[in-house]
């Protein structure tokens, strides 16, 4: 049985932590670094050189040969270009490694190879990466050896953000500034900073590597484009929290080890609802670090899975008819003196600051439900959101019984006199301790749920970066805080003004609160009646980015300029078209070169059998019927295949990115469904040994 792991020893081993900087840097330089991390600003050139040298020495001691500015471009997980620490040999021919402050702080990847959404046309192709000093550098061990990764932000020559991190950092500053105003108004003069904390729960699938290599759809698109449901689906729900299979357990152990070495505090692991599906959750951290760590988690999952001869699927919907994967974005705000602004305490009705913050969040979410929905949109996620699976595409907020009751009292009477208690949980077994029940139960169908001391935004897709959802959340809440602070700072009677604002916001925005079943059709009708947006697809959601409301919001808080929003929108359209294009071409390929030939071969043999059976003077009705059914589906397939080729060719010729994306959605995708249906029917008619690639049962139950 496997090796033992000492968490305390290995945790952060591959990270250039503050602790390591304290050990390795001269005192004054160390102090400067800490002051920049905590208070912003820039390192002096001299100090940057010292830090770079210390960082390089540490990295080289640990076997690193290269460094890279690690960043999050607008499509794909992360990007890196490796440079060796090679300097020039000295006079004896000995290699002197080198790494300067300039190389640490600023990089120049070729911006033209990353999507810029038109920014490239208007501005120079050049782009810069700059070190995000608040996120520590780390060593990545991979097939390429050991590489020092420096987390960076990526901007164009004129300062437009070309990545996901820059706006996130801007939004954190915005919400910090506005939240501090609120905290001060409520009498806290000690806090100097309000941090955004984020804890992502990551879902994923694991399948056998060799089998996955036999499926073009998985290789090229990360999901299955064909496949009939196996006889056993997830009806039994026996997988959820079930015993972790031995090979998966070994994967998890290695994954944990790698992540702990990288300083990622991953804590919880369990099986998920679907067969082959699992979840991993780290302990929450400051937003930008949590987002970086989530990227590291996704990368590491893929890499470690390969070492275990498995493939990790991060796609939101790898298998039709089987639960998809999401990423719950747990979000809250904490002051640097330790107050969680979303902690209601035992008696939320008496906690005025909490109620006020809650009212502001509700206002923000209701006012910008469209933008929040957009922030969780990606092509793969269109298969989940609104597709009768967790959660619906309509944003609503779940508060739970206790808070809903407090809110109701506030709206009705302007005062909340009581808070419902959770009570004791009685198990009926005297030797088990009686513990306090939470006063909030869970509602798994809600896209935005209050869960004790944080909100849980459950719409984000499993393959997506957490940057976008948190950027939007931070900004909309910053706006609500700002508008409230503008009023409160001028108020003569603060208590009265707070009281009035809470009542006003809750009354005006109560339509966003929904505690019922988010999957039901009744809710869709009710939401429509309430006027809540129901945005069905990624590209419809992209349209909201350039609305007057969105531009005003993001420009006001310095998170995005109008130009940046337009560029992001264009990238979404381009990426959507590209993704569906690849999916369509893959289907065409699999249908023409694998499924149809296999079916024809099988049908040919069956036809011969029919003739032989008939020649033997026996009734061949069953065989004939089978053959007929096969031929019917084959005809349907061929028709859909020809149509898909034609539509795809048309879509590809459209020049305007938005029109092209919508053409793919409205004209190409439906035909992909038309091609899939008869193919899946054929899978049920053709002998298993004749089917050209592994089936759902092979992938999900025999992984
Ligand atoms: P579950 O939602 O499955 O019950 P947990 O309650 O353990 O799981 O929390 C899920 C995630 O929420 C974890 O990553 C956890 O660290 C994070 N979390 C807990 N408290 C906060 C907080 N105050 N702010 C942000 N995230 C938090
Ligand atoms: Mg959760």
Residue-wise pLDDT for 433-486, tens only, equals 554 555 555 677 789 999 999 999 999 999 999 999 999 999 999 999 999 999
Task: Quote the pLDDT of residue 433.
Answer: 55
Please state, in angstroms and rounded to a whole number, the distance separating the CA atoms of residues 243 and 543.
Answer: 44
Candidate from 35-44, 205-214, 254-263, 299-308 with smallest mean pLDDT: 35-44
pLDDT band at 151 (very low <50, low <70, confident <90, very high): very high
Indicate the top mutation candidate among 454, 456, 460, 477 to test ligand 1's pocket, ranked by most ligand atoms within 8 A of CB.
Answer: 454
Query: In this structure, how many other beta carbons lie within 10 angstroms of the beta carbon of residue 421?
Result: 12
Task: Quote the pLDDT of residue 401.
Answer: 85
Task: Quote the pLDDT of residue 90.
Answer: 80
Task: Give the pLDDT mean for 488-509.
Answer: 95
| Ligand 1 atom, smallest distance to 199 CA | 14
Candidate from 80-84, 211-215, 405-409 with smallest mean pLDDT: 80-84
pLDDT band at 272 (very low <50, low <70, confident <90, very high): confident
pLDDT band at 390 (very low <50, low <70, confident <90, very high): low
User: On the CB side of 490, how many CA atoms lie within 13 Å of its CA?
Assistant: 5
> Are 518 and 445 in contact, with CB atoms under 8 Å apart?
yes
Q: Is 454 in the pocket of ligand 1 (CB under 6 A)?
A: yes
Distances (CA, A) of 331 to 323, 334, 396, 450: 24, 10, 16, 10
Q: Is 330 in the pocket of ligand 1 (CB under 6 A)?
A: yes
* 454 CA → ligand 2 middle, Å: 11
User: On the CB side of 482, how many CA atoms lie within 13 Å of its CA?
Assistant: 16
Q: What are the structure tokens assigned to 67, written together?
A: 């460094």
Which stretch of DSSP H or E encloses residue 50? helix 45-61
Q: Is 340 in the pocket of ligand 1 (CB under 6 A)?
A: yes
Task: Give the pLDDT mean for 376-381.
Answer: 95
Q: Is 443 in the pocket of ligand 1 (CB under 6 A)?
A: no
pLDDT band at 696 (very low <50, low <70, confident <90, very high): very high
Ligand nearest to the CA of 446: 2
Task: Quote the pLDDT of residue 236.
Answer: 47
Task: Quote the pLDDT of residue 655.
Answer: 95
* 451 CA → ligand 2 middle, Å: 8
Q: Is 201 in the pocket of ligand 1 (CB under 6 A)?
A: yes
Q: Is 440 in the pocket of ligand 1 (CB under 6 A)?
A: no
Q: Is 197 in the pocket of ligand 1 (CB under 6 A)?
A: yes
Please report, rounded to a whole number, the percentage of residues in the chain having pLDDT higher than 70: 92
* 390 CA → ligand 2 middle, Å: 12
Ligand nearest to the CA of 452: 1
Q: Is 281 in the pocket of ligand 1 (CB under 6 A)?
A: yes
Q: Whole-model pTM? A: 0.93
What values do phi and psi take at 331, rounded to 5? -135, 135
* 456 CA → ligand 2 middle, Å: 7
Task: Give the pLDDT mean for 412-417.
Answer: 83
Q: Is 203 in the pocket of ligand 1 (CB under 6 A)?
A: no
Indicate the top mutation candidate among 196, 241, 280, 281 to test ligand 1's pocket, ranked by most ligand atoms within 8 A of CB.
Answer: 281
Q: What are the structure tokens assigned to 149, written together?
A: 């990764």
Is the pLDDT confidence value at 219 over 70?
yes
Is the pLDDT confidence value at 253 over 90?
yes
Query: Between residues 595 and 349, which one has the greater pLDDT?
Result: 595
Task: Quote the pLDDT of residue 518.
Answer: 84
Ligand nearest to the CA of 331: 1
Task: Give the pLDDT mean for 14-24.
Answer: 96
Ligand nearest to the CA of 327: 2
Residues paired with 270 in a beta bridge: 279
Mean pLDDT of the chain: 91
Helix, coil or strand: residue 153? strand
Task: Give the pLDDT mean for 610-621.
Answer: 95
Q: Is 272 in the pocket of ligand 1 (CB under 6 A)?
A: no
pLDDT band at 243 (very low <50, low <70, confident <90, very high): low
Ligand nearest to the CA of 293: 1
pLDDT band at 173 (very low <50, low <70, confident <90, very high): very high
Is the pLDDT confidence value at 273 over 70?
no
Task: Quote the pLDDT of residue 604.
Answer: 97
Q: Is 283 in the pocket of ligand 1 (CB under 6 A)?
A: yes
Instruction: Summarize pLDDT for 318-337 with one digit per residue, the tens.
Output: 999 888 999 999 999 999 99
* 1 CA → ligand 1 middle, Å: 32
Is the pLDDT confidence value at 224 over 80?
yes
Is the pLDDT confidence value at 570 over 90?
yes
Is the pLDDT confidence value at 78 over 70?
yes
> Are 154 and 128 in contact, with CB atoms under 8 Å apart?
yes
Q: Is 202 in the pocket of ligand 1 (CB under 6 A)?
A: no
Residue nearest to atom 17 of ligand 1 (CA): 199
Task: Quote the pLDDT of residue 120.
Answer: 57
Indicate the top mutation candidate among 280, 330, 446 to test ligand 1's pocket, ranked by most ligand atoms within 8 A of CB.
Answer: 330
Task: Give the pLDDT mean for 182-196.
Answer: 96
Q: Is 284 in the pocket of ligand 1 (CB under 6 A)?
A: yes
SS (HEC) of 398-467: ECHHHHHHHHHHHHHHCCCCCCCCCCEECCCCCCCCCEECCCCCCCCCCCEEECCCCEEECCCECCCCCH
Task: Give the pLDDT mean for 85-105.
Answer: 85
Please state, in angstroms and rounded to a whole number, the distance separating the CA atoms of residues 267 and 390.
Answer: 24
> Are 290 and 437 in contact, with CB atoms under 8 Å apart?
no
Indicate the top mutation candidate among 198, 268, 284, 477 to test ligand 1's pocket, ranked by most ligand atoms within 8 A of CB.
Answer: 284
Task: Quote the pLDDT of residue 234.
Answer: 53
Query: In this structure, how many other beta carbons lie within 10 angstroms of the beta carbon of residue 110?
Result: 10
Q: Is 285 in the pocket of ligand 1 (CB under 6 A)?
A: no
Task: Quote the pLDDT of residue 43.
Answer: 92
Task: Quote the pLDDT of residue 330.
Answer: 98
Ligand nearest to the CA of 454: 1
Residue nearest to atom 6 of ligand 1 (CA): 451
Ligand nearest to the CA of 455: 1
* 320 CA → ligand 1 middle, Å: 29
């Amino acid at each position: 049985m496997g090796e033992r792991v000492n968490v305390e020893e290995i945790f952060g081993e591959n990270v250039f932590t503050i602790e390591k900087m304290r050990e390795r840097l001269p005192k004054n330089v160390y102090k400067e670094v800490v002051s920049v991390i905590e208070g912003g600003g820039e390192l002096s050139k001299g100090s940057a050189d010292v830090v770079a040298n210390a960082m390089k020495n540490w990295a080289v001691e640990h076997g690193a040969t290269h460094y890279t500015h690690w960043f999050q471009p607008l499509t794909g997980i992360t990007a890196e270009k490796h440079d060796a620490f090679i300097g020039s040999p000295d006079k004896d021919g000995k290699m002197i490694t080198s790494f300067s402050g300039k190389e640490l702080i600023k990089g120049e990847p070729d911006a033209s190879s990353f999507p810029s959404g038109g920014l490239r046309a208007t501005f120079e192709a050049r782009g810069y990466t700059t070190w995000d000093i608040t996120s520590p550098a780390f060593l990545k061990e991979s097939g390429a050896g050991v590489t020092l990764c420096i987390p960076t932000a990526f901007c164009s020559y004129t300062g437009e953000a070309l990545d996901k991190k820059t706006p996130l950092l801007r939004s954190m500053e915005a919400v910090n500034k506005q939240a501090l105003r609120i905290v001060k108004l409520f009498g806290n003069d000690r806090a100097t900073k309000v941090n955004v904390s984020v804890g992502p729960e990551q879902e994923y699938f694991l399948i056998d590597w060799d089998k996955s290599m036999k499926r073009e759809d998985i290789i090229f698109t990360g999901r299955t484009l064909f496949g009939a449901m196996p006889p056993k689906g997830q009806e039994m729900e026996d997988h959820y929290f079930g015993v972790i299979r031995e090979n998966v357990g070994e994967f998890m152990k290695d994954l944990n080890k790698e992540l702990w070495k990288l300083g990622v505090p991953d804590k919880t692991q369990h099986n998920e609802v679907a067969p082959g599906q699992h979840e991993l959750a780290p302990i929450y951290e400051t937003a930008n670090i949590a987002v970086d760590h989530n990227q590291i988690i996704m990368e590491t999952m893929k890499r470690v899975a390969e070492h275990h001869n498995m493939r990790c699927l991060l796609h939101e919907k790898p298998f039709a008819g089987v639960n998809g994967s999401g990423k719950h974005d747990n979000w809250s705000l904490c002051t640097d003196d330790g107050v969680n602004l979303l902690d209601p305490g035992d008696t939320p009705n008496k906690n005025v600051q909490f109620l006020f913050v809650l009212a502001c969040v509700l206002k923000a979410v209701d006012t910008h439900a469209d933008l929040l929905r957009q922030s969780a949109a990606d092509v793969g996620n269109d298969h989940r959101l609104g597709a009768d699976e967790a959660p619906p595409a309509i944003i609503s907020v779940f508060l739970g019984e206790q808070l809903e009751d407090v809110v109701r009292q506030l709206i009705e009477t302007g005062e909340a006199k009581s808070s419902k208690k959770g009570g004791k949980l009685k198990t009926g077994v005297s030797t088990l301790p009686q513990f306090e029940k939470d006063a909030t139960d869970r509602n798994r169908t809600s896209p935005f749920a209050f869960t004790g001391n944080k909100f849980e935004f459950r719409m984000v897709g499993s393959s997506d970066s957490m940057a976008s959802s948190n950027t939007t959340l931070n900004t909309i809440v910053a706006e609500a805080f700002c508008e409230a602070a503008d009023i409160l700072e001028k108020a003569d009677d603060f208590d009265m003004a707070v009281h009035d604002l809470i009542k006003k916001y809750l009354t005006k925005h109560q339509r966003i609160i929904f505690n019922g079943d988010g999957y039901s059709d009744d809710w869709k009708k009710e939401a429509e009646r309430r006027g809540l947006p129901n945005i069905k697809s990624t590209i419809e959601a992209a349209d909201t980015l350039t609305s007057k409301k969105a531009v005003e919001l993001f420009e006001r808080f310095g998170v995005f300029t109008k130009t940046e929003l337009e560029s992001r929108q264009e990238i979404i359209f381009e990426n959507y078209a590209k993704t569906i294009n690849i999916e369509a071409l893959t289907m065409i390929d699999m249908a023409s070169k694998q499924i149809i030939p296999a079916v024809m071969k099988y049908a040919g043999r069956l036809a011969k059998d029919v003739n032989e059976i008939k020649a033997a003077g026996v009734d061949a009705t069953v065989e004939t019927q089978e053959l007929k059914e096969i031929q019917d589906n084959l005809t349907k397939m061929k028709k859909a295949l020809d149509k898909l080729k034609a539509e795809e060719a048309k879509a590809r010729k459209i020049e305007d990115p938005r029109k092209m994306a919508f053409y793919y959605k409205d004209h190409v995708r439906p035909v992909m469904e038309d091609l899939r249906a008869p193919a899946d029917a054929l899978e049920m008619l053709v002998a298993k040994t004749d089917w050209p690639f592994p089936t759902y049962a092979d992938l999900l139950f025999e992984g």
